[in-house]
Structure 1
């Protein structure tokens, strides 16, 4: 949302007072929502509340399952886009052209809307670098991966027998799935169904507005705001920001190098860059193949699962031999200048 300039000053741009987005797919059919949303604006001085707006929204649509299924499963873009896809640069050019077309159309509406209104609502500057947006996206990724972290912690607790009844129950469930593998997919589907039913109680009761905490706007530092709003900073400020960006990029570079090294170690297993390691790995693979051909697969699966879930009193606190072997494999980082 923008506040309009005076009628006598047509060249003056509208100034921001905030915006509210309501996604149609988050609304239930034939239900009225009434809520008050704060109008938040991020300025050089920080986050500022410009006021509140009271909205009443109702989405009227037939709630027939076939129509909903057809809508959700239809492609997002026209057929030609998938038959003759265009490059990223062309997509950006088309997006910019679409913004100009929408802005020109709304400028002729009554009351007219300035181009800055359209650019603000369509987040035209969302691709520009911002430490605040980078932090927000990082925490979004962490939120997405939270379930995987929780699952890993739960498996670690089961493996360490922190709750013996749970570990025993996992043993029984694992035996059932190994002996009757055809039940694996139905069991997983039923489990996901129960999760969805459980979270139905915590569903959002209404459309959400702009989230300052999600945007990291309530905890942003003054230096980050200056970097976000100052297009051409002084040389000394630019030097300090460059050094900070180099530090951040160095961390990313180190992580990229570690990921590349792990992949190169996997390739080194059979590339014979380390003859002794490749000889050991090939011999172990042959022994495993012979053993698995001779032993029933269900017995192997049960033995492997029970070995993984063994009691901590039977565990060695040192890293496993396979992990030590993998970490000693060579990578191309030794050959980089």
Structure 2
């Protein structure tokens, strides 16, 4: 992280967040092999939530040599729904940070995590509850209201945690809360597009398979599908039980072949391996831009071309619908 006395070192501390409870460890000074050896416990209010653990380099100890802001080393998110109750997981999570030059591994974070369930009935009840209050479904908040409330909540949380002991600075709160998620980025736009394409890939595959059946590409499969269709027409009362049985068997299969360990971060989903260097520099550029006029015009024309393609696709879909 920094150079001190001619060698690399760090003054690392860890911040954990779950819900409204924030925990900060002590700062281990002048070492790259930090051992915190601390134990923390949270009350889980919903199994479908995430525990966030961030590692930072303290810049307040030697302000003459380092920046005034605490530098982020990396963070890890653990989905509680991937943890089996009563099992102790001891894993090393890679700390990956996106830089203008690409993805950089800053180290590893060794954690021992255990999800304890005192009542299975209570946990199933929590799963059955809606994620949001009832008023949200009656009068949902607009996008502008959500952004305003998120900004106000971040400022209140930063002011509150700055008076804690030891204090959590605002840059730490912003990094743990992902305050820059709304900023435009060509990399994020591509990543979200490919994620959306993966979601609808099942429908595309089903449509392609139906086209093969309709055109008799595989006669044996087409005959079997027609026989099945005739059986469903003759015994239509078995359609719903057969569908429920298929869902039940598919759920048992997914439970049997579920991963034994919590999954790590898949860097391919963020589309950082095949991203253009100028797109990364645009994502990390300051405001106002420090690049030359030619690069500014290039960055302006790039989203215009993407928006033009989207406009054409929407027009074609509207034409087909009309």
Instruction: Settle same-fold status: TM greater than 0.5.
Output: yes
Matched, 1:98 2:143: no
Q: Is the 8 A contact 1:5 1:12 kept in 2?
A: yes
Equivalent residue for 2:252? 197
Q: How does 1:211-226 map to 2 (within 5 A)?
A: 211-226=266-281
Matched, 1:4 2:62: no
1:17-59 CA distance string (max 9 Å, x none): 1110011122121111111111011111111110011111111
* Runs of 4+ in structure 1 over 6 Å off: none
Equivalent residue for 2:113? 57
Q: Which has the higher helix share?
A: 1
Equivalent residue for 2:308? 250
Instruction: Find the aligned partners of 2:233 and 2:188 in 1 and give their Cα distance.
Output: 46
Instruction: Find the aligned partners of 1:219 and 1:13 in 2 and give their Cα distance.
Output: 31
Aligned residues: 263
Equivalent residue for 1:121? 176
Between 69-78 and 28-37, report the one with greater CA deviation: 69-78
Instruction: Find the aligned partners of 1:34 and 1:9 in 2 and give their Cα distance.
Output: 36
Instruction: Find the aligned partners of 2:218 and 2:204 in 1 and give their Cα distance.
Output: 19
Q: How does 1:127-142 map to 2 (within 5 A)?
A: 127-142=182-197
Instruction: Find the aligned partners of 1:59 and 1:6 in 2 and give their Cα distance.
Output: 35
Q: Which secondary structure state, in structure 1, belongs to the residue aligned with residue 77 of structure 2?
A: coil
Q: Which secondary structure state, in structure 2, belongs to the residue aligned with residue 121 of structure 1?
A: helix
Select the structure with the greater relative contact order (CA < 8 A; seq sep ≥ 6).
1
1:262-317 CA distance string (max 9 Å, x none): 23x2xxxxxxxxxxxxxxxxxxxxxxxxxxxxxxxxxxxxxxxxxxxxxxxxxxxx
For structure 1, which runs of at least 5 residues remain unmatched after alignment?
Answer: 266-337
For structure 2, which runs of at least 5 residues remain unmatched after alignment?
Answer: 1-53
Instruction: Find the aligned partners of 2:139 and 2:302 in 1 and give their Cα distance.
Output: 42
Q: Which has the higher strand share?
A: 2
Give the structure with higher Rg (CA): 1
1:122-169 CA distance string (max 9 Å, x none): 111111110111111111111111211222232233334444433222
Q: How does 1:1-337 map to 2 (within 5 A)?
A: 1=54, 2-9=56-63, 12-62=68-118, 64=120, 66-231=121-286, 232=289, 233-263=291-321, 265=322
